Amino acid sequence: MSIKEGQIWKLARPLLEKGLNKDFVLHAQGVLAAVKLIAKEEGGDLEILIPAAILHDVGWAKVPNDNQKTKDTEKRAEGEKLHLIFGAELAGDIMQKLDYSDKAAKEVAKIIKSHMDTEPNDKNTKILIDADALSDVFRDNFYAESKA
C-alpha cells in the first residue's frame, strides 16, 4: 500500500463507518481490489481510481438516517442521490487535504458524482462502476481472510 493510500483510508474510514446499510469499509476494500484488477486489464488510471474506489461511498456519512434505513422507495432514492452529491464534496476536500492537484481532486469528485450513471462516458468512471458491482464477489474473500 502506498503512503497516500494509507492516508486516504485514515480519512475515509470514520466516514465509511457512518453508513448504515452495510459495512462500507469492507465494501470499499472490495471495490479497491476490483479496481486494481480491472485497471490492469483495461488500462484505467490508478492515480485517480484508487482514491475514487476508497472514497466513492463516503457521502453516506451525511445522508439522513431516514433516507438510509427505509423501505420507502422514494426516500431511499433521495438518499442514493444525496450520497453522490455529498460524496463528491467530501472526496474533493479529502483530496485537497492530501495535496493532490486540483485536476485530480476534480476528476475523483466527478467520478464519484457519476458512479450510479447507467451510461458512463469515460473509462475511469466505467471501471469504478464495474468494480462497485463486482465488489460483493471480492467481499467474500475479505471475510474469509478476516476470519482466518
Instruction: List interacting residues with Fe ion (CB under 5 A).
Output: 57, 132
Report in angstroms how near the CB of residue 68 gets to Fe ion at its nearest: 12
Cell of 46: 490508478
Report in angstroms how near the CB of residue 131 gets to Fe ion at its nearest: 9
Residue type for position 123: K
Between the CA atoms of 115, 117, 120 and 123, what dihedral angle is there, to the nearest 10 degrees? 10
Cβ nearer to Fe ion, comparing 104 with 131: 131
Report in angstroms how near the CB of residue 133 gets to Fe ion at its nearest: 9
**Short-list 111, 6, 19, 104, CA closest to 59:** 19
